[in-house]
């Protein structure tokens, strides 16, 4: 009997290791888990991504995952005049369908995610206006808004490796073997994958909340990736509050850094206009902490400084002012994103540019 139990345990652990160290295995696990509701479903994002990191019972609020509703017909101009290509993140693809009816004077829309696995070649249509919209949340903007980063997502030709000579091929072959050995011996996300596979079930929820509430109330501790607002009403990504993080709303942005960032935006615009785009529009979504103003700290005003910089030659959509009006109603309390109302405010501002 003991041998049988040991054999079953070994097979279970081996199967877990195989699935959690495989991209295909984790895709199967996550799709199955998120398709279920209840004790055997995954609750990590049901109440917001930041609740899924902390499991604080106070912030257990069901998140509305519906797309923003399409504008009424009388709210749109009837003439469709342009193709819109969007390179963006979850602030957009989680709230808007790939549907041109959201946008004024747009006949077709194509969305490309920043996390796309392989470059997507975008080719402007002839005899029609073509617009490229490049969007990112403020915390990720410094690492994404540069020409090389954009080309890595939108230029398939740039990603094709040049022909290797014999020596380079040999070096590349052994480098791949070395990388394969490292990946099999140490999978960088294995621990997180195993934690998800074993413990991300609805029936663990109460126990996780009990532990999280105890750590907060007795030790003042929450997950290191999350911070609670000073008014105790919102969860934030901790990196957006840490002034040592370049994506923080409170980091020090010198004039030299600002000028370098503006130069990158200008190069992106120049490059894609040369490839046939009539217009390149940038959009930086403010970190929630810089809009909600719960911390009583002056932020760096990065977006406004870029937009008003004398060297900036492009067009930048900044919805900060609109989002700041009745700001508490525009963001989820336990998620790192705006809500549908906040997304609609951004959309209305964007449409005024078309």
Read off the pLDDT of residues 210-264 as tens digits, 9 standing for 90 and up. Answer: 999 999 999 999 999 999 999 999 999 999 999 999 999 999 999 999 999 999 9
pLDDT tens figures, 77-114:
555 689 999 999 999 999 999 999 999 999 999 999 99
Tell me, yes or no, whether 341 lies in a domain: yes
165 pLDDT exceeds 60? no
Tell me, yes or no, whether 239 lies in a domain: yes
Instruction: Using the structure block, give the residue that is written with the tokens 């002012």.
Output: 321
Tell me, yes or no, whether 78 lies in a domain: yes
The 8 Å CB, 24+ separation contacts for 322-326 are 322/346, 322/348, 322/349, 323/286, 323/291, 324/291, 324/293
- Cα 265 to Cα 150: distance, rounded to the nearest angstrom: 10
Distance of CA 226 to the CA centre of its chain: 16
Tell me, yes or no, whether 15 lies in a domain: no
Contact in structure between 144 and 290 (CB atoms under 8 Å):
no
Residue 175 — very low, low, confident or very high, per pLDDT cuts 50/70/90? very low
Residue 180 token pair:
């394969």
The CATH number of residue 59's host domain is 3.40.50
163 pLDDT exceeds 50? no
Residue 8 token pair:
């079953």
- Cα 40 to Cα 10: distance, rounded to the nearest angstrom: 23
- In DSSP terms, 280 is beta-bridged to 132
Lowest mean pLDDT, pick from 65-69, 104-108, 155-159, 276-280: 155-159
Q: What is the pLDDT of residue 123?
A: 87
Percent of the chain with pLDDT over 90: 62
DSSP 3-state assignment of 123?
Answer: coil
Contact in structure between 222 and 216 (CB atoms under 8 Å):
yes
More confident residue, 280 or 200: 280
Question: What's the mean pLDDT in 20-33?
Answer: 53
63 pLDDT exceeds 60? yes
Residue 117 — very low, low, confident or very high, per pLDDT cuts 50/70/90? confident
Percent of the chain with pLDDT over 70: 71
Tell me, yes or no, whether 163 lies in a domain: yes
Question: Domain count of the chain?
Answer: 1
207 pLDDT exceeds 60? yes
Q: What is the pLDDT of residue 71?
A: 84
Tell me, yes or no, whether 354 lies in a domain: yes
Question: What's the mean pLDDT in 134-155?
Answer: 95
Tell me, yes or no, whether 24 lies in a domain: no
Lowest mean pLDDT, pick from 15-29, 35-49, 257-271: 15-29
Question: What's the mean pLDDT in 169-177?
Answer: 49
Q: What is the pLDDT of residue 282?
A: 98
Q: What is the pLDDT of residue 42?
A: 60
Tell me, yes or no, whether 197 lies in a domain: no
More confident residue, 91 or 27: 91
Q: What is the pLDDT of residue 157?
A: 61
Q: pTM for this one? A: 0.81
DSSP 3-state assignment of 88?
Answer: strand
Lowest mean pLDDT, pick from 65-79, 264-278, 284-298: 65-79
Give the residue numbers spanning the domain of 259.
43-188+203-354
């Amino acid at each position: 009997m003991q041998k049988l139990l040991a054999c079953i345990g070994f097979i279970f652990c081996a199967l877990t290791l195989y699935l959690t160290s495989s991209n295909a295995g984790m895709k199967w696990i996550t799709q199955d888990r998120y398709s279920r509701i209840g004790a055997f479903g995954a609750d990590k994002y049901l109440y917001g991504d930041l609740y899924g990191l902390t499991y604080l019972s106070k912030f257990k609020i069901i998140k509305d995952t519906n797309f923003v509703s399409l504008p009424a017909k009388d709210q749109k101009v009837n003439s469709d005049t342009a193709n819109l290509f969007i390179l963006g993140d979850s602030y957009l693809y989680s709230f808007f369908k790939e549907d041109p009816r959201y946008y004024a004077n747009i006949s077709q829309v194509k969305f490309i995610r920043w996390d796309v696995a392989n470059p997507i070649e975008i080719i402007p249509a002839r005899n029609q206006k073509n617009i490229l919209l490049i969007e990112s949340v403020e915390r990720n903007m410094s690492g994404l808004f540069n020409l090389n980063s954009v080309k890595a997502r939108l230029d398939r030709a740039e990603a094709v490796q040049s022909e290797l000579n014999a020596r380079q091929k040999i070096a590349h072959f052994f480098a791949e073997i070395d990388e394969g050995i490292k990946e099999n011996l140490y999978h960088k996300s294995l621990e997180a994958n195993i934690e998800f596979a074993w413990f991300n079930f609805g029936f663990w929820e109460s126990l996780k909340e009990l532990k999280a509430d105890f750590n907060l109330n007795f030790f003042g501790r929450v997950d290191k990736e999350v911070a609670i607002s000073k008014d105790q009403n919102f969860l934030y990504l901790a990196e957006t509050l840490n002034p040592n993080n370049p994506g923080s709303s409170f980091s020090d942005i010198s004039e030299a850094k600002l000028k370098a960032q503006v130069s990158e935006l200008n190069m992106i615009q120049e490059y894609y206009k040369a490839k046939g785009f009539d217009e390149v529009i940038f959009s930086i979504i403010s970190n929630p902490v810089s809009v909600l103003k719960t911390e009583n700290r002056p932020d760096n005003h990065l977006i406004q400084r870029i937009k008003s910089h004398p060297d900036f030659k492009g067009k930048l959509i900044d919805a900060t002012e609109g989002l700041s009006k009745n700001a508490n109603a525009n963001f989820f309390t336990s998620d790192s994103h705006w809500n549908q109302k906040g997304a609609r405010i951004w959309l209305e501002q964007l449409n005024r540019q078309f």
